[in-house]
Structure 1
């Protein structure tokens, strides 16, 4: 068979000739088909045209990542690192070509595409006027995580190098790269903030210079959110360091500073981005960001951000299900007047965050030694609460003259929690845990109005930048609550009793509880403020800042209708000065600065004799250096601060349940931040904070004098994030990132008679992503080493967690 098959073709000359003719025919057919295909391709190419060109900034430098789009077809491309773009296969005709980049003035050109030809269209984009931080185009272009230029910190158009105050800014671009699905995860990039402290209703606080600092400010006015904050509407987070009582309401800040969340605002170019995220702990999250100009002149701009979030805890019980929507509208009335209106509306259903109180009479002094199962919640998904949040914000800007403008801001907030919130406490002598539940209905009502007049003028040869303002703030709350305690159970071997923690059993205990006078409490407090701040340029390199604020507080106290009594009511007046000096050693690149800042808190705690407390005052002295060099590729701030606090309140040892005002506190330390882009595509965000806090004077019997306050957190905190993305070639947009956070040992309780230790921690995170103009794919792994670590409330933090993010952009 094999021999015959091999020999047969050769044995016949006729067959050989037939095969030769067949091969020749096949070759001719293939050549003919190839000519037809080539002709069709050539005809197709000849039937279309192309557009190419460059995009440069106003200073003549190449602008990368600028979107170049044909309005009629919505086809587009982002410019390369050299600022070039090339749009191919465009049907002949007339088009509108748009070049846009956030912070630059959008530019449009009418173009004609001719078949078989490539038309060159170049753009030069000037700076945008809406936000000062976008003036640094090179920062956004290369060092993409550097957006230090903001008017929020000084309430003035002041560059970072001109400002004597220290602040950090976390951008939405950085949060997107890190696949942030929780608002507090963005704070990993701010030096000294530590592990977030999550309260029963989702409200969060973090550390700043050794002081617990809340998230109560939105767009520079009150944004008091008693519940969790969704990151979908966040453009950036600004961490302003040190006592800030001069330009911000002291009721919303701590002596360590404040966190200002700046929301996304409409812009001129239509754009939509829809993102779906899924991952560990049953995460399902869908977000949408839609931006539309509503008229042809683009004087009415609309944007809406929304999020649907569903996630379970890594523990055996615990969940968060929420819906969030944030519409915003900008109306540019004319070249002098504009109006911004936006809202944040959220509803959520969740279980309380884990909270554990140690036994101060017990023998265990370290959370690791308790032996509690890390993944055991001691909770139940039926013991939950509902929360609602409505924030309405308005901004009216009016240009009075070339030197003066008016800024009117208004905010109205409703924030409430209704349901069951929980906490846990230990009796470690018998290895038992008690589950405490508060059935509560707690609404907050906030009103905040500010009127600022901002001037930029010269007296002789000296430049003055001035802000003068008035502020009104009011906060009301009506608190209904009943607290019950479940029977204690073993925390090592709870057995069937573990399942006894149900909503029905809690409700029965609440119904049987004897009513108390304090089950319903009303609170009402107001403040009226006036302030002025002037930045005076002595030379083109040396400027001085002088500021003063006066506040009049009217706290009507806590009123209990049951007995008709009011406690904690007071009226006070407080003054807060601020001074600063900046000298630019290298103009536009290196500056030395120093500041004196004052802040105050009005104390509403209750003393045994019901006498009012004096305001707590904090005085900060700070000095350091700021660097913005190498074409904005290196930005760094290094500072030393010293904050002394007087009139500190603490528990009254002679009268349990009351407070006494007999203390002083000192908080000093070093902070350093680096934001760098050493070469194309490679970015670094790093920070280090050392804080030395102690109670320097305390009432006898409190047992805390000379010790570090437990709520000051770790003495040493560090953060690092490094990422690299390809900036050219076929895989442009492909990147990866890695980073982590470190915190030294800290205390949950720190007195001379009892200490409870929270161990140090180091976490490592990593991500990989592919970011293109039309879509983005990202995957993030948090806590790669599966580090076990805890918050100040002894809440176990997430183990290794993976999140996949898919985005469509059009």
Structure 2
């Protein structure tokens, strides 16, 4: 006993003696505008000691050996800072850091790294770290857009695995924004700050702080008013911050690109926390084809008022005026007959031809207003009240080309005048709680959502203008009647004359939805979390206001479940989810086989259900973040033509989509950042109509995108020396060949695979940033498409000069 007692005393004494030889380093990390800098890494040079700044910007490193040490503050994309401190036994040395970036810029850098443990409040509507969230999502930051001189919103998605554009914005009524394929289904940028943000044309990137691609069916939290079977695109806008600052940027490049943008932030009161931020841009650009242009003006003022530490307001408006000439969509099939051309080589489409003129234009103004009130009810509960009002318009000409008569080399060109206005209102009330029941932590969301939409359409009829060959020859013989028609030229006056005598559309349709939802994340243990979510949605359509008997209503439930297990806390996360989305289906008129009216048939909402599992990892002190996931989506209750009666429809169609995705973000050495991703998807009709072009079982439904997609982007910024403000970037994208038409009657049409390589050089100093990008280095001619063929740009460059203040 005595020997054990003495050994214990000696051990304790030795431990105390060892501790007496160590001390602590602590401090605070802030941005230059005084905001806490969360997630910045702090290390003691030459040791394995380190820490990460918390939400208040504080850090503490314990058990540091006495002596003189160099403390390093760093984060991916930021210039590292060093300070020398003296550690004395039993004492705490202080090393505070002030970053050169402001709070908004730091957020952009963090999102660009895509590996921050910061809590994301938009994807789950609950403050969750990425490793705690059983859903997969990707982000593209404003910082990354600057690195790549991205002046087109659509180009941001080359940095996201598993998504690709299938056709450009057409500006047409109802769905004129660009179309993307996401996990085999359509996706459009339909959310702004998690609220409805419809677009009928292009979006401007000037006010973008972050673009989120939320993967998988997502109606539980965001509703059924947006098509979200494969996921959603959510745009997070820039927010005001304390202090004065901003930048002015001029961009120029190929095809007459000229763009000037400004981002200005300023406080408005010396006594109260009132700040304003304005982002604005003027954009002018030509086309790589023989005709085509875009001119737009965008402005987005934002006002933030922090009344006290419990109450705050944020009001944001976006105003976009845009006019452009839109190249027609080229449909190379009548969707009934065997294809005349089965390859790009056989079609021999001249990619330099636009089949339009700069006199035939479309305008797509957009107005969006959002107001938010946050109120801290208690230490456990927060209230969020948000109101969103939006107006989008389509005013101008839409045109498409299609092979209406098989067997010849001519394609009919059809014109239509768009005159549609869509008004939306969304009101949400959310309550977020973070509390414990016993030892079990709950993060609970309870929400109510009201959404209304009114669509007023006064568009013209659809008029046949001419026939053209893929090489540009013109013919005015109407292929359906075989008679030569008066010439229609590509002028506004000529198109107006064509459409003037056609019967147009006069409609005014209103509908609304009323929803209640909840979502709870329960910490069963610190490393095991379970998510349970449910939405109840009642859809009420008043239909056409002038028609009394076309009203209808539908009810849908949308569940969501998720499990997360972290075998190594905050390092590795195993996850699985079940997610749902739904779309309300309009009633349809039913006729018998002889064309006699029978009834108006109602349908249930379509449903999409996904099972997904995978792993997320955040390793080596934030130097490697990755996600690997496997998913299986089934869409049921689709409406398709009745095989027994082409004048009727039946419900019960099914489409399946399955695949996997890999996303990696690495910072292997100081100054080097690598983002890479790969995805595989297979989408097929499971149940449908063997004689229908769109729903033949065993075939691809169209618009699903290439099966294989890969992306990579690497940047290296010299960390020190004379070149420390300079850097280079290189990367690109790969898409496998793409089955845009897959039907037993027509045959199969593939778009060829392609590989694009892009490169950049940049200088990013304290007040000046100069960037130059060369895209599509190999000058590859490539195509995208839905059931269509859309030529894309060959080699092009873009450069920007920015002054930061």
Q: TM exceeds 0.5?
A: yes
Q: What's 2:773 paired with?
A: 780
Task: State the SS of the aligned residue for 1:343.
Answer: strand
Check the 8 A contact 1:318/1:352 in 2, yes or no.
yes
Q: What's 1:790 paired with?
A: 783
Which among 350, 364, 369 is matched to residue 387 of structure 1?
364
Check the 8 A contact 1:182/1:230 in 2, yes or no.
yes
TM-score by length of 2: 0.82
Task: State the SS of the aligned residue for 2:757.
Answer: strand
Q: What's 2:399 paired with?
A: 422
Structure 1 residues 763 and 290, CA gap change in structure 2 (3 angstroms): same
1:429-578 aligned within 5 A: 429-482=407-460, 483-492=462-471, 494=473, 500-513=489-502, 515=503, 519-558=505-544, 561=546, 564=547, 567=550, 569-578=551-560
Task: State the SS of the aligned residue for 1:378.
Answer: coil
Task: State the SS of the aligned residue for 1:344.
Answer: strand
Find the aligned partners of 1:639 and 1:321 in 2 and give their Cα distance. 41
Q: What's 1:686 paired with?
A: 676
Check the 8 A contact 1:431/1:490 in 2, yes or no.
yes
Query: 1:738 Cα deviation (Å)?
Result: 0.8
Query: 1:490 Cα deviation (Å)?
Result: 3.5
Structure 1 residues 188 and 223, CA gap change in structure 2 (3 angstroms): same
Q: What's 1:317 paired with?
A: 291
Deviation digits for residues 746-781 of structure 1 (CA, Å, limit 9, x no counterpart): 222211112222221211111111011101100011
Query: 1:227 Cα deviation (Å)?
Result: 1.8
Find the aligned partners of 1:496 and 1:618 in 2 and give their Cα distance. 45
Query: 1:678 Cα deviation (Å)?
Result: 1.0
Find the aligned partners of 2:733 and 2:606 in 1 and give their Cα distance. 32
Task: State the SS of the aligned residue for 1:157.
Answer: coil
Structure 1 residues 651 and 314, CA gap change in structure 2 (3 angstroms): farther
1:208-607 aligned within 5 A: 208-297=182-271, 299-360=273-334, 361=337, 362-426=339-403, 427=405, 429-482=407-460, 483-492=462-471, 494=473, 500-513=489-502, 515=503, 519-558=505-544, 561=546, 564=547, 567=550, 569-604=551-586, 606-607=588-589
Find the aligned partners of 2:776 and 2:794 in 1 and give their Cα distance. 6
Q: What's 2:757 paired with?
A: 764
Find the aligned partners of 2:562 and 2:114 in 1 and give their Cα distance. 29
Q: What's 2:707 paired with?
A: 715
Deviates more, 1:238-247 or 1:339-348: 238-247
Check the 8 A contact 1:607/1:660 in 2, yes or no.
no
Check the 8 A contact 2:327/2:355 in 1, yes or no.
no
Check the 8 A contact 1:649/1:660 in 2, yes or no.
yes
Query: 1:431 Cα deviation (Å)?
Result: 1.6
Query: 1:83 Cα deviation (Å)?
Result: 12
Find the aligned partners of 2:601 and 2:44 in 1 and give their Cα distance. 68
Task: State the SS of the aligned residue for 2:357.
Answer: coil
Structure 1 unaligned residues grouped into runs of 5+: 1-57, 70-78, 85-100, 107-118
Structure 1 residues 183 and 450, CA gap change in structure 2 (3 angstroms): same
Find the aligned partners of 2:327 and 2:234 in 1 and give their Cα distance. 23
Find the aligned partners of 2:319 and 2:774 in 1 and give their Cα distance. 30
Deviates more, 1:146-155 or 1:292-301: 146-155
Structure 1 residues 146 and 760, CA gap change in structure 2 (3 angstroms): farther
Find the aligned partners of 1:783 and 1:499 in 2 and give their Cα distance. 37
Deviates more, 1:423-432 or 1:364-373: 423-432
Query: 1:268 Cα deviation (Å)?
Result: 0.7
Find the aligned partners of 1:377 and 1:234 in 2 and give their Cα distance. 30
Structure 1 residues 457 and 565, CA gap change in structure 2 (3 angstroms): closer
Query: 1:68 Cα deviation (Å)?
Result: 8.4
Structure 1 residues 660 and 713, CA gap change in structure 2 (3 angstroms): farther
What value does the CA root-mean-square deviation take over the aligned residues? 3.2
Q: What's 1:90 paired with?
A: none
Query: 1:298 Cα deviation (Å)?
Result: 5.6
More helix by share: 1
Query: 1:301 Cα deviation (Å)?
Result: 0.7
Check the 8 A contact 1:322/1:346 in 2, yes or no.
yes
Find the aligned partners of 2:309 and 2:55 in 1 and give their Cα distance. 18
Query: 1:105 Cα deviation (Å)?
Result: 6.8
Query: 1:143 Cα deviation (Å)?
Result: 4.2
1:5-24 aligned within 5 A: none
Query: 1:730 Cα deviation (Å)?
Result: 2.1
Query: 1:204 Cα deviation (Å)?
Result: 1.4
Query: 1:707 Cα deviation (Å)?
Result: 1.3
Query: 1:657 Cα deviation (Å)?
Result: 7.9
Find the aligned partners of 1:233 and 1:658 in 2 and give their Cα distance. 46
The answer to whether residue 637 in structure 2 is matched with residue 635 in structure 1 is: no
Check the 8 A contact 1:590/1:626 in 2, yes or no.
yes
Find the aligned partners of 1:630 and 1:299 in 2 and give their Cα distance. 39
The answer to whether residue 719 in structure 2 is matched with residue 727 in structure 1 is: yes
Check the 8 A contact 1:479/1:520 in 2, yes or no.
yes
Query: 1:650 Cα deviation (Å)?
Result: 3.1
Deviates more, 1:361-370 or 1:265-274: 361-370
Find the aligned partners of 2:116 and 2:753 in 1 and give their Cα distance. 30
Find the aligned partners of 2:441 and 2:103 in 1 and give their Cα distance. 22
Deviation digits for residues 13-47 of structure 1 (CA, Å, limit 9, x no counterpart): xxxxxxxxxxxxxxxxxxxxxxxxxxxxxxxxxxx
Deviation digits for residues 646-670 of structure 1 (CA, Å, limit 9, x no counterpart): 1112355666687542311111110
Task: State the SS of the aligned residue for 1:161.
Answer: helix
Find the aligned partners of 2:102 and 2:561 in 1 and give their Cα distance. 28
Find the aligned partners of 1:222 and 1:157 in 2 and give their Cα distance. 21
Q: What's 2:50 paired with?
A: none
Check the 8 A contact 1:628/1:635 in 2, yes or no.
yes
Structure 1 residues 141 and 798, CA gap change in structure 2 (3 angstroms): closer
1:171-182 aligned within 5 A: 171-182=141-152
Query: 1:612 Cα deviation (Å)?
Result: 1.5
Deviation digits for residues 224-265 of structure 1 (CA, Å, limit 9, x no counterpart): 112210000000011111111111122124111111100000
Q: What's 1:737 paired with?
A: 729
Find the aligned partners of 1:480 and 1:574 in 2 and give their Cα distance. 32
Check the 8 A contact 1:63/1:83 in 2, yes or no.
no
Structure 1 residues 493 and 572, CA gap change in structure 2 (3 angstroms): closer
Which among 168, 177, 185 is matched to residue 155 of structure 2?
185
Task: State the SS of the aligned residue for 1:510.
Answer: helix
Which among 695, 702, 705 is matched to residue 692 of structure 2?
702
Find the aligned partners of 1:578 and 1:765 in 2 and give their Cα distance. 39
Find the aligned partners of 2:587 and 2:187 in 1 and give their Cα distance. 18
Find the aligned partners of 1:333 and 1:62 in 2 and give their Cα distance. 25
TM-score by length of 1: 0.82
Task: State the SS of the aligned residue for 1:252.
Answer: coil
Task: State the SS of the aligned residue for 1:424.
Answer: strand
Structure 1 residues 493 and 169, CA gap change in structure 2 (3 angstroms): closer
Find the aligned partners of 1:780 and 1:183 in 2 and give their Cα distance. 16
Check the 8 A contact 1:62/1:83 in 2, yes or no.
no
Task: State the SS of the aligned residue for 1:613.
Answer: coil
Find the aligned partners of 1:209 and 1:753 in 2 and give their Cα distance. 26
Structure 1 residues 220 and 577, CA gap change in structure 2 (3 angstroms): same
Aligned length in residues: 705
Q: What's 2:801 paired with?
A: 806
Deviates more, 1:536-545 or 1:483-492: 483-492
Structure 1 residues 756 and 165, CA gap change in structure 2 (3 angstroms): same
1:127-206 aligned within 5 A: 140=110, 143=113, 146=116, 149-201=119-171, 203-206=177-180
Check the 8 A contact 1:142/1:633 in 2, yes or no.
no
Structure 1 residues 412 and 147, CA gap change in structure 2 (3 angstroms): farther
Find the aligned partners of 2:285 and 2:272 in 1 and give their Cα distance. 39
